[in-house]
Structure 1
């Protein structure tokens, strides 16, 4: 009898489940359901998420490579503290990329100082349609604004026409997303984001490169400071809750 071949679907299923587990664990870290210092085993994650250990191990290995967890010899896994030095470096790189993109956006295109730079004007028009709106039409949905904010900064770099810059910026964006989303937990920060994005777009539209870069730098620095403050506070609160006796 000819042996039944192993279904080629099985590895894909494991990859799909590993992606789901990876996304869930990353959310748990971002939402402080897993606090830096927490220890857990693969079995605990498997039981909680209702999956086998194989996709759990794959997901944890990926998170280990990204610096979120570490494996402990014979005693499971541990959530690592946030590496703020690394985040500072990533924010510095992000600032360089975005301010460079702002200058390119103001210099490129037909009739500009550097016509060889191909600007994607449709991307800019799409951003204007979202951010240059009357106050009454602004979104107050924190999740939506957080997503739009990330897309705003990515679109600015993509619109500048340098695919390698956009690729590096996309990688940086992915790596800081876990803390960056915390910037929109307060309404005041949403209002500030609308105001600051509008000023940046107006400067770009008027081809004022130095002003656009200055506004972008200040905007990113303000967000960076707010995120660090909120992250430290949230970690402290999560630890206090975890240490509270059961009622």
Structure 2
């Protein structure tokens, strides 16, 4: 999560209440209980959650800053419609950042590179594989964020973390099937092996293909889930 929960907690109970509302609404968006394009008012959310409008407004401002909702000052709020062109651009930026991280890692002394990636190597060669779901999605995010952070550029890592937050709403859908979990483990292990062997071009190729396949999968799954949510009896 991009917002510092501990900092918000220190501000008192209203902020904690806003955090709960924020998480509830975000889960509703992620699970398509709140659909892209849905409109609502602060009063409707406040009534539903039995709270005042103040923490609801704060939660919505956090979601707006992260790109999940938009405000219409005369008519309330709206869940932002899905913009696959925008997601395409974010995935392209992700590839650029991660390929650059790989280039920098491959330039390091072999022992230094191995030390920085030791935890990832251990984690992504472990057996048995985890079950599909949120845990695997979080582990995948951690893999890619750690790979970028290991390159040693703090600003690159920060931008990548913000990017990760923005694509989470669709990216997590890639881990709802066992075959995709198994493929992710194989592909991560191959990327790590190429980096450790300082095979820059091969590691970048593997990473680019890995992200491209994931992007295609999540687009297909997202479209299916949107169709299913809108027309549950015909899906």
Q: TM-score range by the shorter chain?
A: 0.7 to 0.9
TM norm structure 2? 0.88
Query: Once structures 1 and 2 are overlaid, which stretch shifts more, 85-94 or 234-243?
Result: 234-243
**1:19-76 CA-partner distances (Å, limit 9, x unpaired):** 2222221111111010112222212212322322101011112323333223345433
Structure 1 counterpart of 2:159: 168
Of 119, 127, 139, 2:130 maps to 139
**1:62-115 CA-partner distances (Å, limit 9, x unpaired):** 32333322334543322221121221111111101101111111111368xxxx
Aligned equivalents of 1:49 and 1:74: distance in 2?
22
| Larger radius of gyration between Structure 1 and Structure 2 | 1
Distance 1:49 1:10, change over 3 A: farther
1:121/1:159 contact within 8 Å kept: no
2:42/2:56 contact within 8 Å kept: yes
Of 210, 229, 233, 1:238 maps to 229
TM norm structure 1? 0.84
Aligned equivalents of 1:228 and 1:55: distance in 2?
33
Q: State the Cα distance separating 1:12 from its structure 2 match.
A: 3.0
Q: Which stretches in structure 1 are left out of the alignment for 5+ residues?
A: 1-8, 112-118
Q: Which stretches in structure 2 are left out of the alignment for 5+ residues?
A: 1-8
Size of the aligned set, in residue pairs, is 226
RMSD: 2.2
Distance 1:74 1:139, change over 3 A: same
Structure 1 counterpart of 2:22: 22
Secondary structure of the residue aligned to 2:12 is helix
Aligned equivalents of 2:88 and 2:191: distance in 1?
22
